[in-house]
Amino acid sequence: MQDWNDLRLVLALVRAGSLTGAAKALGINHSTAFRRLAALEADMGVRLFERLPAGAYAATAAGERMAASAERIETEAAALDRDILGRDQQLTGRLRVTASETLGFRILTPLIGRFRCQHPGIQVELMVDNRVLSLSRREADIALRALRPREGDLHGRKLGTIAWTLYARAELAASLPPLPAMLDNLSALPLIGWEQGASGVNAAEWLQARAPDSAFVYRSSSLLNQFVAARAGMGVAVLPCYLGDPEPDLRRLTAAPVAALGRELWLVTHSDLRRTARVRAFFDLIGDGMAEARGLLEGESDAPSGEP
């Protein structure tokens, strides 16, 4: 092996299962990835992947061995990177933060503005992504997650509980029949929901268990788009209260949040980075700012919080 980028390509292709996905993960175009893989297999004289229908790639035994080696190298490199960064006591440099699109839209960005005013030497890169990015592999330095950290190498601070309930545009809400007390059957509502078969999304699964497919008038993989659709009067959406309550055109369909939909919100970093100056500064300011917004998070306030 002459180039670490060859190993990275093989590892990315094993993880993504397609050349398109691997190219996207590496920030290169499809044709570049294709040429690099073909050259690597030609140089080594061995096939690393079987080409399957619909653009899928399956690793051969040689490909799996190479990917395993690449993952070990990646792990060691990330550990070294964290160790060096963890000793950094300067309030300068880049800080990569990942959060959901709705948190970024409603609460987090104003707080980052406040953070930037206090620490102009720190460049914040906000990755709006609903996936759980790896902090161990340095895909991000800090994450806001609706999930308690369970890995032993992660450090977290609980910010509160995210409350959810049903929302509709005011005119639509006034025309709807009363909701059943137990919310066990929502088939009479024109529902906005996630794409069919969505898994791992608590609110999507809650909706699917209470309404047939025929009740859904609109579906989207984006929660922010569902919010916009509800605001436009297209139907009833299940939204976090911090997103729905401050919107003057929307009305709650329940007086209190739906308890079954509540999720903890955590600010998380890798344990190796928790003492880095810029990580500590972010935890302090953003953590305190999010704590100030707890009423909004937990469905007890109808006004945005955390403005710089």
pLDDT tens per residue across span 169-215: 999 999 998 888 789 999 999 999 998 877 778 999 999 999 999 99
List of domains in the chain = 4-78 (1.10.10.10), 87-152+273-297 (3.40.190.10), 164-261 (3.40.190.10)
Lowest mean pLDDT among 37-46, 76-85, 132-141: 76-85
Q: CB atoms < 10 A from the CB of 117, how many?
A: 10
pTM of the predicted structure, to 2 decimals: 0.68
Residue recorded with tokens 């739906």:
258
Q: CB atoms < 10 A from the CB of 12, how many?
A: 20
Consecutive H or E run containing 157: strand 154-162
Measure the CA–CA gap between 257 and 271, rounded to whole angstroms.
34
Lowest mean pLDDT among 66-70, 84-88, 229-233, 284-288: 84-88
pLDDT at 223 over 70: yes
Strands 93-99 and 142-145: parallel
Q: What would the pLDDT profile of 92-142 be if each residue is shown by its tens digit?
A: 889 999 999 999 999 999 999 999 999 999 999 999 877 777 787 778 899
User: Confidence band (pLDDT; 50, 70, 90) for 85?
Assistant: low
Measure the CA–CA gap between 285 and 307, rounded to whole angstroms.
12
Spatial contact of 268 and 143, defined as CB atoms under 8 Å apart: yes
pLDDT at 307 over 50: no
Spatial contact of 264 and 158, defined as CB atoms under 8 Å apart: yes
Spatial contact of 133 and 127, defined as CB atoms under 8 Å apart: yes
Percent of the chain exceeding pLDDT 70 equals 94
The predicted pLDDT at position 298 comes to 94
The predicted pLDDT at position 89 comes to 65
Lowest mean pLDDT among 70-74, 202-206, 239-243, 279-283: 70-74
For the chain, the average pLDDT equals: 88
Measure the CA–CA gap between 157 and 160, rounded to whole angstroms.
9
The predicted pLDDT at position 108 comes to 92
Lowest mean pLDDT among 154-158, 256-260, 273-277: 273-277
Consecutive H or E run containing 170: helix 170-175
More confident residue, 171 or 55: 171
> Residue 255: exposed, middle, or buried by beta-carbon count in 10 A (0-12, 13-18, 19+)?
exposed
The predicted pLDDT at position 88 comes to 59
More confident residue, 306 or 240: 240
Consecutive H or E run containing 51: strand 49-51
The predicted pLDDT at position 165 comes to 97
Mean pLDDT across 252-260: 94
Q: CB atoms < 10 A from the CB of 296, how many?
A: 26
Residue recorded with tokens 């299962």:
17
Encode burial over 182-205: b for 16+ CB neighbours within 10 A, e otherwise.
ebeebeebebbbbeeeeeebebbe
Q: What is the DSSP letter of 272?
A: G
Mean pLDDT across 242-254: 95
Rounded to 5 degrees, what are φ and ψ at 157?
A: -130, 125
Percent of the chain exceeding pLDDT 90 equals 58
